[in-house]
Structures are given as structure tokens and as C-alpha cells.
């Protein structure tokens, strides 16, 4: 891996994690780790271009059908691909199909860019995700194998203790906070060969007194009402939170920081 490389373009492919939920800006839009990474890369490369094709809720088949060919055609220096986790969270998940779709995506994207970046997605501590952890780890084994065969970089967020901390996850318990996204951007930045700006991004955050019983129960009820029940409803009816939404940043154009 080249030290402190200069890249002229970045294309991000994926779902809500790459779209940037829940790193919300004052205008209601989402920033996220990919935008933060693009800002850093643009500061080193005049004329730097950036596209983010991610759409929340997408399964790996949809990512392959809707994003991969578009991304490959852009000819970017760096492409990030994060997908498949939504599949593992479904009640029924065909891991053989997930493997085949990821293989198709990597085989198309790797030759189309100078550096393909894959990730072992972060996993929040808690009983809900523990149920799906074997599937998640099977997904990560597939990713590791594809990376070794196609020269991709793997960013291990799953092994980062800081990102397992519930305090770095939003109230929906599915998406990282702004600080969580900042740490992911740092992880990818370092994986691409840049000098660390935060060497301890993966270190556990300092302990704080746990919330009381009433606070925890109130939070659980809010979570169930606002997030869990609607999520179950979408699964039962075959709908997605991303239905009808366009890609976040569909064109590979010069990066401009439009943060409010």
C-alpha cells in the first residue's frame, strides 16, 4: 500500500451505512463517513471528484443491479463497496446467493478502479444483533476471501471495540452517530495508506455511568414504537426504506463541501 497516496476520485457504493444515516446535518440531509472521507481526499487533490450511489435499505442484489455497473463505468481511482448486511438481517437469508452477488460485484468493480475497498461492517453490542451474528461473520468470511483474490483492501470495523459501543449508535440501533461515522472515515483513510489523524479511533471510549432503569425502559419503548415496528412492517410487506429514493450523489463531479 502506497504511503499518503493522492487519489483523484472516489465512488461509494452501498446502502444506508454508506449513505450516512444517522449523521444528520441541520438541513435534514445526511453526511456520513463517505462524505467525510471525500473531504479529506479532496484537500490533497485539486479537482477531486466524488460520487455516492448509496441508497438506504438496499439488498446486495439491488446494489449489484442498480449501482455496480454505474460505478464501474465511472473509472474512479477508489471505489468503496459495503453491502450484504441488510440481507443477513432478514428473517430468511440465502447466504449462497449473497456470496454469488458479492462475487459478481467485486469481479466487476476491482478491475475498474485503482483500489477497491471492502469492509467488515461494525456490529453493535446487544441481544438483537447477537441473533444475526453468525450470518454477519459468514458474510465477513466471504468478504475476506474476495479481497484476497482480487487485491481489495478490507477495513475491519467489526473488530473495532469502539464501534461496538451502544453509545456510538443512534436511537434506531441500526446506524452510527456522527462520531461513529467520523471513526469509520478515519479507518478507511488509514487503510488507504494515509497518515493517521486519529490513531486511537478503534480504542474503547471512556466509561460513563449507565442510564437508570426508567431511562432504559423509556428508550426501549421509543425504539420499538418508532423504529422496530415500522422495520418489521416493511419486512412483512416487502417494502424498503429506500423505495423510490435516488442515489445520494449520482454523478462523479468535483467535490464541494456544502455542509450547512
Give per-residue pLDDT as tens, 22-73.
Answer: 898 999 899 999 999 999 999 999 999 999 999 999 999 999 999 999 999 9
DSSP code, position 243: T
pLDDT value at 232 more than 70 = no
- Is residue 249 within 8 Å of 52, Cβ to Cβ? yes
Mean per-residue pLDDT, 217-227: 61
The mean pLDDT of 138-142, rounded to a whole number, is 97
Average pLDDT, the chain: 88
pLDDT at 237 over 80: no
User: For residues 222 and 164, which has the higher predicted lDDT (pLDDT)?
Assistant: 164
pLDDT digits (tens, 9 = 90+) for 171-210: 887 899 999 999 999 999 999 999 999 999 999 888 767 6
Residue 246: exposure state from Cβ atoms within 10 A (0-12, 13-18, ≥19): exposed
Q: Name the strand (E) or helix (H) holding 178.
A: helix 178-191
Which of 67-81, 116-130, 208-222, 244-258 has the least mean pLDDT?
208-222
Closest to 182 measured CA to CA, from 15, 55, 34: 34
By C-alpha distance, which of 53, 60, 46 is closest to 6? 46
pTM for this predicted structure? 0.88
d(CA 207, CA 74): 44
What are residue 215's phi and psi, to 5 degrees?
-60, -45
Instruction: Give residue 5's pLDDT.
Output: 83
What local confidence, expressed as pLDDT, does residue 56 receive? 93
Continuous H helices in 45-177 = 60-63, 69-74, 85-88, 95-109, 127-150
Q: Which residue has the higher pLDDT, 259 or 138?
A: 138
Rounded CA separation 257/179 (Å): 19
Q: Which strands sit side by side in the sheet containing 249-254, from one edge to the other?
A: 153-156, 115-120, 78-82, 9-14, 49-52, 249-254
Beta strands in 92-244 (DSSP E): 115-120, 153-156
Choose between 25 and 238: higher pLDDT: 25
Say whether pLDDT at 89 is over 70: yes
Least confident of 162-166, 170-174, 203-207, 225-229: 225-229
Amino acid at each position: 500500500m502506497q504511503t499518503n497516496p493522492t487519489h483523484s476520485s472516489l465512488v461509494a457504493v452501498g446502502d444506508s451505512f454508506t449513505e450516512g444515516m444517522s449523521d444528520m446535518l441541520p438541513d435534514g440531509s445526511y453526511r456520513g463517513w463517505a462524505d467525510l472521507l471525500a473531504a479529506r481526499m479532496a484537500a490533497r487533490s485539486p479537482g477531486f471528484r466524488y460520487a455516492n450511489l448509496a441508497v438506504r435499505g438496499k439488498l446486495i442484489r439491488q446494489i449489484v443491479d442498480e449501482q455496480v455497473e454505474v460505478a464501474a463505468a465511472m473509472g474512479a481511482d477508489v471505489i468503496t463497496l459495503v453491502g450484504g448486511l441488510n440481507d443477513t438481517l432478514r428473517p430468511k437469508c440465502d447466504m449462497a446467493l449473497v456470496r454469488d452477488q458479492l462475487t459478481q460485484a467485486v469481479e466487476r468493480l476491482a478491475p475498474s478502479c485503482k483500489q477497491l475497498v471492502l469492509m467488515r461492517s461494525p456490529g453493535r453490542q446487544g441481544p438483537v444483533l447477537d441473533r444475526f451474528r453468525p450470518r454477519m461473520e459468514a458474510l465477513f468470511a466471504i468478504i475476506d476471501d474476495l479481497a484476497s483474490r482480487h487485491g481489495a483492501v478490507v477495513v475491519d470495523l467489526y473488530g473495532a471495540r469502539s464501534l461496538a459501543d451502544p453509545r456510538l449508535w443512534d436511537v434506531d440501533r441500526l446506524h452510527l452517530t456522527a462520531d461513529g461515522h467520523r471513526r469509520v472515515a478515519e479507518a478507511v483513510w488509514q487503510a488507504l495508506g494515509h497518515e493517521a489523524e486519529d490513531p486511537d479511533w478503534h480504542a474503547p471510549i471512556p466509561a460513563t455511568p449507565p442510564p437508570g432503569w426508567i431511562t432504559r425502559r423509556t428508550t426501549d419503548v421509543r425504539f420499538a414504537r418508532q423504529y422496530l415496528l415500522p422495520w418489521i412492517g416493511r419486512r412483512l410487506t416487502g417494502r424498503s426504506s429506500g423505495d423510490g429514493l435516488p442515489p445520494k450523489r449520482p454523478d462523479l463531479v468535483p467535490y464541494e463541501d456544502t455542509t450547512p
